[in-house]
Structure 1
């Protein structure tokens, strides 16, 4: 019987105005997704979210992330503001400039050693204001000392309105990025993780939930209380709660999340399940 170590990633925003679903069908060959299409790791955007980065200060060979970002425009250069948000909500930032068609790659151990969190990459103009530049794509390879590994595409948010973010110019020091379906694509309030294998079959799944919101100057917001339901393959569900800092993560087990009957009791040997997560906050 084959076993696997799987890292399941999800992205959460408490600023979204409605639920979001991502279509499974790809665009026709040669066509790009329109800016109004919802967030996806299958399109280009003006903002990229890398759901996880990590490294070990003492053992980067065992735990590290390689992050890649590409400017798909063949005519325009890109200035990108990078915000490294630690799981405890502190933020560090830097800039990167990309020539037309350029890809840049870097290791988390070289940029932010010993830290685990998520990365936000925002296209900006010469004044540092968030701007319309729906040509950024990205991906990453991440590995943990626990043995969990994953290749993850960066979630791309397109800017729908033209020009710089509203109210931002050369005299402002902060700008508001609105994921409201008007300025930028919306962000999800409800998440799902499918095809969770049984730990009793040798599987091990890591769950990561990020809060997207707050200030990238003074500190990002925490997730607050998250509600969830874990389902077995007979459609029976048990509820649970999660909560924590800007990033909640853990290996699914009898202690995470806490459910009645235990995790291994819900998803037994030879079985699979799935879970749904949502936030009651606005």
Structure 2
């Protein structure tokens, strides 16, 4: 069965969607069959892969309410081995229903849907929204592991304790096997003293949880990159937009680090 990886951090603008899209593409480029589930109502992962939100007839919300199976909403993308389960703004309705129905097992709904197709993919990557609400809880409950992007800027570690506390709580309830695959420094600039300080703090406190490059002990970090920022507007992952850019190389290193850890 495929490994399910959630990309999570309740703080917005830290590179969750960028990581979800480009990690998925980089794994697919290494001949792994990958499904990216856009689980954010903003649907930025969907548009980042060239799909227009309003032109997608069925999306992950229809799966959650039971009108479609997950296999029925999956689309191939411009990359071989990379597939998308799209999202739409209608997904916000799930949170309202989550709180109103209060049925048992509601935090395991996505997990149940994913189990139907899990053996068809090597990796399933879930892009979660910037909040610790029902959608993120469902994503973390469905996942084997979580990658936490951390922006190399002021307040970078703000809210991290709350996320770690949520992960710890889920281990005692809905997902005992959930583990942190690693922290990923994002938007790093070697010209910025604050970036260097945040990275130094991460290394000091979480060195064992940082992804390491295969050639040497340096950690994988995603640079601040114009190309990375531009590629979603063209509906392409960075691999198809500018494969040799620093941002692309960083996500290729991340994919290789993950594969190095797969038994």
The two structures share one fold, judged by TM-score above 0.5: no
Q: Higher helix proportion, which one?
A: 2
TM value normalised by structure 1: 0.30
Q: Which of the pair has more CA radius of gyration?
A: 1
Task: Decide which structure has greater strand share.
Answer: 1
